[in-house]
Amino acid sequence: MLNRRTPLARVTPLRRGEPLATVTVLTGGGKVLPLARPKRPKDTIPANIRRIVTERDMGLCVYTGKPATHIHHRRLKGMGGSSDAHANCLCNLVLLDSGAHEFMHKNRFIALAEGVIIPAATVAPWLLPVLVHGRDDGSGVRVWPTCSGEWIDYEPDGDGAA
């Protein structure tokens, strides 16, 4: 095993529940540096878009039919955000409750089948349907979200944004 040239000795003891921002390490040159907590990306969804999605989905999760507050990007943005066309468009956003949101990110196969996650290479999110479930509804209804903020129950043409 190789020996480290720079010791990573703790300067302050770590206490349970202590945020990482207050943890410090000693560098090889004797300098004390704080470990930075990774910053969460800012919410990039404008307030008016957030309001329209909540109204369109009637405040209910499209997967469980329960009251929901999480707005989910069907074509995932990644940690740094996205400048892709339709990233924050109404055709790319759905409302999920916190449990369903976590479930969809952990179970990509189910999320793809439900239309809640779509392939990153998708240029036209409005062409891919979402299976919207009602409360305690096992089947769901296939609908397409439009760029104007409605659900339509027929497949749109591929020429332009619905």
Q: Mean pLDDT of successive 10-residue segments in the chain (162 residues)? A: 56 55 55 58 81 94 93 81 78 95 94 93 92 76 93 82 54
Establish if 162 belongs to a structural domain: no
Q: Are residues 59 and 123 in the same domain?
A: yes
pLDDT of residue 151: 94
Do 23 and 80 lie in a common domain?
no
In a domain? residue 17: yes
Which residue range forms the structural domain that includes residue 63?
Answer: 47-152
Residues 67 and 131 in one domain: yes
Query: Total domain count for the chain?
Result: 2
Q: Which long-range contacts (CB under 8 A, 24 or more apart) does 132-138 make?
A: 132/62, 133/62, 133/63, 133/64, 133/65, 134/65, 135/60, 135/64, 135/65, 135/66, 136/65, 137/65
Whether 157 is covered by a domain: the verdict is no
Q: Is residue 128 part of a domain?
A: yes
In the prediction, which pLDDT does 22 show?
A: 47
pLDDT of residue 44: 77
Q: Is 126 in the same domain as 105?
A: yes
**Whether residues 115 and 61 fall in one domain:** yes
Same domain? 7 vs 80: no
Coil, helix or strand for 1? coil
pLDDT at 53: 95
